[in-house]
């Protein structure tokens, strides 16, 4: 069956139809025709939605799903449905499962479980065995099996030489190495951004310095070894400056920022709500301004939900005892769209992350594969617990006003609407 998208505004800077309102006919998973008006024929599914906008399919580069081992938090099947209904046609899945994704068979398990889903799953395999930071995992074998990058999720590589060797070794097969920006020795037992709020609330502080020292070390190593380095979920103004300077030197370094670090500050901690306990911790208004500017000027390459479902037993406890992590797929677009202009960030969900992680981006043009996200950028909503699609409910955006509504995706020859 064919699908006709009626009166869709196209947001795709690589398309000849950018910013134009068109009808789009999709047949057999490909864009057959784009025109001002297309006549509806038999056996065609008509999609007419309020203020419909479409873009290339969104790609989230940091998603945790739980399975295998933590299915009570999220299963692969439901997680992929959540991603599709949240506008993502592809997600990169972190290795923080049980067992850790650190072998060829583990990577193949994830890919097999996601077969035939509308949203494509791409594994990020562990950089070290069991993510313990001691011995490097079999990176090349895992890349051959489908891993698109290597990193120990939310765990820094403390061994300088191990990081150096990883950057050198990965160059043999053009591998992408991830390094989480945290120095554990400086961070200690800190659970909140070190500053006025942590002092007022009596919470152990984790200074921004923990992030700066680790990033500086990694950039020195990258300058020495060459290769490709991606720094996930930076959270401070100084981090933006460090990466900006490294890019000016010509180093192959990229970075991402999470939606919650772009939009929420440590002022949220005054209620001791563990849904605001994140890693890195939420920072200051000054940091948020610098991060938003970093997106606009191209220093920050990727925006990610950093979706990390945590079950109620590990969240509904004292703030100091709760696990880090928030869910973010459902709220990603509405939160970003509340603080940045659509054309300022859409490439950070599409073209840029796909280029960095080696995925193909399908421009919205006749003859191309239909890999499309459908949304309304203007509708304002107040996000509620009832709108959570994930199995776990640890969202920091409950009762927050969001701008924009995601309708769903057309991907892998499937239309998934919320």
Lookup: tokens for 372: 């499309």
> DSSP H helical segments within 154-266, as ranges?
160-170, 184-187, 196-201, 209-225, 237-248, 259-263
Pairing of strands 58-63, 53-56: unpaired
Lookup: tokens for 375: 């949304």
C-alpha distances in angstroms, 33 versus 14, 260, 309?
Answer: 17, 38, 40
Helix (H/G/I), strand (E/B), else coil: 369? strand
For 357, other C-beta atoms within 10 Å of its C-beta total 19
Residue from 149, 82, 113, 123 nearest 309 by CA: 82
| Tokens 């220093």 belong to residue | 299
Q: Catalytic pick from 12, 152, 266, 306? A: 306
Pairing of strands 21-27, 88-93: unpaired
Handedness of CA 412, 347, 208, 136 (dihedral sign): positive
For 4, other C-beta atoms within 10 Å of its C-beta total 21
Residues 6+ apart with CB under 8 A from 248: none
Beta bridge partners of 27: 30
Lookup: tokens for 131: 């993510």
Handedness of CA 324, 329, 334, 336 (dihedral sign): positive
Rounded Cα distance, 369 and 363, in Å: 8
Intra-chain end-to-end CA distance of the chain, in Å: 20
36 is catalytic: no
Q: What is the DSSP string of 258-282?
A: EHHHHH--GGGGGG--GGG--SSPP
**What amino acid positions are annotated as catalytic residues?**
306
């Amino acid at each position: 069956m064919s699908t006709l998208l009626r009166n869709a505004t196209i947001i795709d800077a690589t398309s000849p139809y950018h910013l134009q309102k068109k009808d789009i006919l999709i047949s057999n998973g490909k864009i057959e025709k784009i025109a001002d008006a297309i006549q509806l024929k038999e056996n065609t599914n008509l999609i007419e939605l309020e203020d419909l906008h479409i873009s290339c399919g969104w790609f989230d580069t940091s998603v945790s799903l739980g399975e295998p081992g933590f299915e009570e938090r999220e299963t692969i099947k439901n997680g992929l449905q959540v991603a599709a209904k949240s506008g993502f046609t592809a997600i990169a899945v972190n290795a923080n499962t049980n067992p850790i994704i650190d072998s060829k068979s583990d990577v193949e398990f994830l890919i097999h479980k996601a077969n035939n889903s509308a949203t494509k799953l791409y594994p990020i395999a562990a950089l070290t065995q069991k993510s313990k930071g001691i011995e490097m995992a079999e990176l090349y074998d895992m890349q051959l099996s489908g891993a698109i990058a290597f990193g120990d999720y939310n765990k820094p590589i403390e061994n300088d030489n191990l990081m150096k060797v990883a950057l050198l070794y990965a160059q043999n097969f053009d591998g992408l190495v991830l390094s989480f920006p945290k120095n554990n020795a400086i961070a200690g037992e800190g659970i909140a951004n070190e500053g006025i709020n942590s002092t007022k609330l009596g919470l152990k502080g984790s200074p921004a310095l923990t992030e700066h020292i680790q990033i500086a070390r990694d950039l020195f190593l990258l300058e020495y070894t060459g290769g490709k380095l991606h720094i996930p979920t930076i959270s401070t103004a100084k981090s933006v400056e460090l990466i900006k300077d490294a890019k000016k030197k010509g180093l192959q370094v990229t970075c991402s920022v999470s939606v919650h670090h772009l939009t929420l500050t440590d002022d949220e901690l005054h209620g001791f709500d563990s849904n605001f306990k994140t890693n890195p911790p939420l920072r200051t208004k000054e940091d948020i301004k610098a991060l938003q500017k970093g997106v606009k000027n191209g220093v920050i390459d990727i925006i990610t939900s950093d979706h990390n479902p945590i079950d109620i037993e590990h969240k509904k406890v004292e703030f100091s005892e709760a696990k880090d992590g928030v869910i973010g797929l459902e709220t990603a677009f509405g939160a970003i769209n509340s603080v940045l202009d659509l054309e300022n960030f859409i490439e950070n969900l599409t073209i840029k992350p796909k280029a960095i992680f080696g995925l193909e981006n399908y421009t919205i043009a006749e003859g191309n594969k239909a890999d499309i996200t459908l949304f309304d950028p203007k509708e304002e909503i107040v996000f509620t617990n009832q709108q959570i699609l994930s199995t776990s409910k640890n969202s920091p955006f409950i009762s927050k006003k969001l701008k924009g509504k995601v309708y769903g995706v057309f991907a892998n020859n499937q239309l998934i609407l919320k």
